[in-house]
């Protein structure tokens, strides 16, 4: 018996009227199914199973299209899991329901190849619903064959999303009850509501006439891919005699008489959608994209021009979101880097920012930085009162607070050994014409007061970041205003104790 079947591969016969009579196995199939552990001459499908017919139609279509060498067959989980036993093409076996996602990854990697996703109903319409809908919606240029037999075959007859109302299964033992399990999913109809798919048809492997229609649909869906037109989907109503408890002939009849009324045969989509003009990203050399190449005209490193009086200098900037808190920290960090220091910037992030407050830690150091978290900053820039109250107690002894108001709150006690300078930076910024430069005024003040970094570096960084001429001028004025305020402040501070000006 086995030997007889082994020899079943015969040459095509040409009939009297010139038509090719296909009694031979398609060349798309392996001669022997050597990936199987036993019965290498026959499939694992039950007698009368629709998968065998579907496989044959797909194999013949691929053969006719001459794309065997460029075809990649994706088989997920279910009875379709072993498609790689049979199809003599590149094969990728993937997780349950995920074939459209994996096929997407393959097709995007190999856009000119033929990628087929072959899925059952549990795979495609239950666990993999999201993947098929989104692959279809993206218009992935793949071909999906959806074998719908209204039951889980591989696992032994459990209810499928396409199980008919009233149909018994091992997990719907009283018949599918919509009140409990809902109604059968109509995948072809569902997918045809999307804009991107180019071809959606439902066919049935119920009788020869319908099998010939299925043959045409399958070939068309593959031809579409050969022509690169878009996403094609063929739902194949398919008999499962074993699980249905019917003989093959009865099962075929059941497809037509029981399934088709629920899943009408139709071409649901057959047109190419109009795709909006594609704004293709510019193509640039890798070093440019990664900013490895120095930008022409940028200031770049200024190491050695500024003598740093510290080994480590740490700054905390805090305030409301929108006050340029994180940006100010980044600017200090960028400046430190350009002056040859080791630097780190660590932001608060996420919901905390969305609720309105933000802060960041800036470390400037002559040595490799350990913790980027600052427990005790040398300088705190408090852009609002909440930040002042929250972070002032953390400031290191001998440290400095720059507060964005003209006076400290009346009930606020300065931590011992900490100095504070009040700067009405928001008001000053308004006078300069933009509240947005409040942070730059604070920057100017910090640089002038502590000399931690060079104002020249600051201008260099700002010039590299701010491209609008008018805005750049406002920033320049803001930086100067912050510095001048400190000059002024220092005079007052010095004259106040004894009442004499220097």
Q: Is 243 exposed, middle or buried (0-12, 13-18, 19+ CB in 10 A)?
A: buried
**379 SS3 class:** strand
Q: Does 247 bind other proteins (CB under 8 A)?
A: no
Q: Are strands 400-403 and 419-422 parallel, antiparallel or unpaired?
A: parallel
Least distance between other proteins and beta carbon 226 (Å): 12
Strand partners, 115: 72
Per-residue binding string, other proteins, 140-179, x by CB under 8 A, is ----------------------------------------
Give yes or no for a contact between 376 and 396, defined as CB atoms under 8 angstroms apart.
yes
**Which of 46, 65, 92, 190 touches other proteins (CB under 8 A)?**
92
Q: Which of 8, 249, 301, 493 binds other proteins (CB under 8 A)?
A: 301
- Measure the CA–CA gap between 444 and 455, rounded to whole angstroms: 7
Q: Does 330 bind other proteins (CB under 8 A)?
A: yes
Contact 86, 29 (CB under 8 A): yes
- Counting contacts by CB under 8 A, is residue 378 touching other proteins? no
- Verify binding: residue 418, other proteins, rule CB under 8 A: no
Compute the distance between CA of residue 451 and CA of residue 95 in angstroms, rounded to an integer.
61
Phi, psi of 310 (to 5 degrees): -125, 165
Q: Which residue's CB is nearer to other proteins, number 103 or number 236?
A: 103
Phi first, then psi, for residue 184 (nearest 5°) are -60, 140
Torsion angle of alpha carbons 189, 193, 199, 202, nearest 10°?
A: 0
Does the footprint of other proteins cover residue 108 (CB under 8 A)? yes
Query: Do 124 and 94 form a contact (C-beta atoms < 8 A)?
Result: no
**3-state SS of the chain: helix, strand, coil percent to 5?**
40, 15, 45
Q: Of 17-25, 148-156, 222-230, 372-380, which segment contacts other proteins by CB under 8 A?
A: 372-380
Q: Does 275 participate in binding other proteins (rule CB under 8 A)?
A: no
201 binds other proteins (CB under 8 A): no
Stretch that binds other proteins, among 148-156, 172-180, 186-194, 349-357 (CB under 8 A): 349-357
What is the distance between the alpha carbons of residues 397 and 275, in angstroms, rounded to a whole number? 64
Contact between 43 and other proteins per CB under 8 A: no
Q: How far is the CB of 207 from other proteins (least distance, A)?
A: 34
Nearest distance, CB of residue 211 and other proteins, angstroms: 28
**Residue of the chain from 114, 383, 392, 462 that contacts other proteins (CB under 8 A):** 114
**Sequence-distant (≥ 6) Cβ neighbours of residue 170 within 8 angstroms:** 156, 157, 158, 159
For other proteins, the closer of residues 12 and 351 by Cβ is 351
Pick 58 or 114: Cβ nearer other proteins = 114
The reply to whether 104 sits near other proteins by the rule CB under 8 A is yes
Q: Contacting other proteins (CB under 8 A), which of 93, 158, 434, 435?
A: 93
Nearer to other proteins, 74 or 425 (CB): 74
The one segment of 82-90, 155-163, 263-271, 477-485 that binds other proteins by CB under 8 A = 82-90
Q: Which residue has the tokens 């006076």?
A: 407
> 3-state DSSP call for residue 319?
strand
Which of residues 20 and 31 has its CB atom nearest to other proteins in the complex?
31
What is the size of the binding site for other proteins (CB under 8 A)? 70
Instruction: Rank residues 264 and 370 by Cβ distance to other proteins and give the closer one.
Output: 370
Q: Cβ of residue 345: shortest distance to other proteins, in angstroms?
A: 4
- Smallest gap, in angstroms, from Cβ of residue 209 to other proteins? 34
165 SS3 class: strand
SS3 labels along 282-308:
CCCCHHHHCCCCCCCCCCCCCCCCCCC
Q: Is 35 in the site for other proteins (CB under 8 A)?
A: yes
The verdict on 12 binding other proteins (CB under 8 A) reads no
Question: Does 350 engage in binding with other proteins (CB under 8 A)?
Answer: yes
Interatomic CA distance for residues 55 and 33, integer angstroms: 14
In this structure, the number of other CB atoms found within 10 A of the CB of residue 63 comes to 15
Region of 222-230, 370-378, 431-439, 494-502 interacting with other proteins (CB under 8 A): 370-378
Comparing CB distances to other proteins, the nearer of 402 and 461 is: 461
C-alpha–C-alpha distance, residues 120 and 149, integer Å:
8
114-120 and 419-422 as β-strands: parallel, antiparallel, unpaired?
unpaired
Q: Which helix (H) or strand (E) holds 208?
A: helix 208-226
CA gyration radius, the chain: 36
> Which residues of this chain interact with other proteins, rule CB under 8 A?
35, 37, 68-72, 74, 81, 84, 88-95, 98, 101-110, 112-115, 130-131, 133-134, 138, 281-284, 286-287, 289-292, 294, 300-301, 330, 333-334, 337, 342-347, 349-351, 369-373, 375
């Amino acid at each position: 018996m086995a030997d007889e079947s082994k020899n079943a591969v015969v040459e095509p016969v040409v009939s009297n009227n010139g038509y090719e009579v296909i009694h031979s196995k398609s060349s798309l199939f392996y001669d022997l199914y050597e990936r199987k552990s036993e019965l290498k001459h026959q499939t694992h499908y039950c007698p009368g199973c629709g998968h065998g017919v579907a496989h044959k139609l797909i194999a013949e279509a691929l053969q006719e299209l001459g794309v065997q060498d460029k075809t990649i067959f994706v088989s997920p989980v279910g009875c379709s899991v072993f498609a790689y036993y049979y199809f003599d093409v590149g094969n990728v076996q993937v997780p349950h329901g995920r074939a459209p996602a994996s096929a997407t990854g393959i097709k995007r990697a190999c856009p000119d190849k033929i990628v087929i996703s072959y899925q059952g109903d549990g795979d495609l319409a239950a666990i993999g619903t999201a993947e098929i809908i989104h692959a279809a919606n993206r218009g992935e240029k793949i071909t999906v064959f959806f074998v719908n037999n209204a039951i889980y075959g591989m696992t032994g007859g459990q209810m499928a999303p396409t199980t008919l109302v009233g149909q018994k299964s091992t997990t719907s033992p009283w018949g599918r009850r919509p009140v409990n399990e809902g109604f059968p999913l109509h995948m072809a109809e569902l997918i045809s509501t999307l804009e991107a798919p180019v071809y959606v048809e439902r066919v049935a492997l119920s009788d020869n006439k319908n099998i010939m229609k299925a043959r045409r649909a399958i070939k068309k869906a593959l031809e579409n891919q050969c022509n690169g037109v878009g996403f094609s989907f063929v739902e194949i109503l398919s008999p499962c005699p074993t699980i249905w408890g019917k003989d093959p002939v009865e099962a075929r009849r059941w497809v037509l008489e029981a399934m088709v009324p629920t899943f009408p045969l139709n071409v649901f989509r057959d047109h190419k959608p109009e795709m909006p003009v594609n704004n293709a990203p510019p193509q640039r050399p890798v070093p440019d994209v990664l900013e490895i190449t120095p930008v022409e005209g940028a200031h770049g490193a200024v190491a050695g021009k500024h003598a740093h009086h510290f080994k480590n200098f740490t700054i905390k900037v805090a305030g409301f979101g929108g006050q340029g808190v994180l940006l100010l920290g980044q600017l200090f960090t960028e400046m430190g880097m350009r002056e040859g220091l080791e630097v780190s910037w660590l932001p608060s992030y996420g919901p905390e920012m969305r609720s309105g407050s933000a802060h960041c830690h800036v470390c400037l150091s002559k040595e490799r930085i350990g913790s980027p978290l600052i427990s005790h900053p040398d300088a705190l820039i408090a852009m609002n009162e909440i930040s002042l109250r929250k972070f002032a107690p953390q400031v290191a002894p001998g440290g400095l607070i720059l507060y964005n108001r003209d006076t400290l709150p009346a009930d606020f006690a300065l931590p011992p050994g900490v100095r504070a300078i009040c700067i009405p930076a928001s008001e000053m910024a308004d006078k300069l014409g933009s509240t947005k430069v409040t942070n730059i005024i604070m920057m100017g003040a910090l640089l002038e007061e502590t000399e931690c970094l060079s104002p020249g570096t600051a201008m260099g960084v700002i010039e590299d970041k701010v491209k609008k001429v008018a805005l750049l001028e406002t920033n320049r004025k803001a930086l100067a205003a912050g510095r001048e305020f400190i000059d002024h402040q220092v005079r007052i501070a010095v004259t106040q104790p004894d009442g004499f000006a220097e």
